Amino acid sequence: MDGNRRYADKNHLLKSVGHAHGFNKLMQTLEWCKHIGVTEATVYAFSIENFNRSEEEVNALMTLAREKFNELLSEKNDLEKNGVCVRFFGSLHLLPKDIQILMAKLVLETRHNNKAYFNVCIAYTSRQEITEAMNKITDAVTSNSISVE
């Protein structure tokens, strides 16, 4: 979800309002996906680098995440009816505990749904994912769980 701050600046809005508009556009895009038969969508919602933004902006983004994850939980019947499984990827331990709990609830509530998948990359960078994967492989080789051959 790139460009929300630029959108806010261009339209003389608070950055938090730009992020809220971006989320609304995401929801519209997911509706379009549903109507054309797309069964898996991934959103890159929040990069680890975003923690380097101002405290005010990070707090606003965390507040938006809380609101939207709570909304998704309140719409769990719709998620179930549409068979949507919500999954999260990233260094989730970097997020506030209450947001981690909301995400865990969403995953648990939707884990059996299998018609569509909504993947949320949050506190995520591909660089970090590759580093973690390489560390796991190294550990597995070191412990002889896998061989290099």
Residues paired with residue 116 on neighbouring β-strands, in sequence order: 84
Mapping DSSP onto H, E and C, the string for 3-39 reads CHHHHHHHCCCCHHHHHHHHHHHHHHHHHHHHHHCCC
| Averaged pLDDT, 36-60 | 91
CATH number at residue 75: 3.40.1180.10
Q: 56 versus 20: which is more confidently predicted?
A: 56
* C-alpha distances in Å from residue 44, one per residue of 30, 49, 101: 14, 12, 20
Q: Has residue 71 been placed in a domain?
A: yes
Digit-coded pLDDT (tens) for 75-126 = 889 899 989 999 999 999 999 999 999 999 999 999 999 999 999 999 998 8
Backbone torsion region of residue 87, taken as left when φ is above 0, otherwise alpha when ψ lies between -120 and 50, otherwise beta = beta
**Number of domains observed in the structure of the chain:** 1
Domain assignment present for residue 26? The answer is no
**Residue 89 domain-assigned (yes or no):** yes
CA distance 22 to 30: 12
Residue 47 near residue 90 (C-beta atoms within 8 A): no
Residue 13 resides in a domain: no
Is 17 domain-assigned?
Answer: no
Domain limits at 57?
40-143
In a domain, 55, yes or no: yes
Show the tokens assigned to 131. Answer: 């580093």
Closest CA to 120 of 134, 97, 98, 99: 99
Q: Is residue 102 part of a domain?
A: yes
For 82, the token pair is 């549409």
Would residue 115 count as lying in a domain?
A: yes
Entry pTM = 0.77
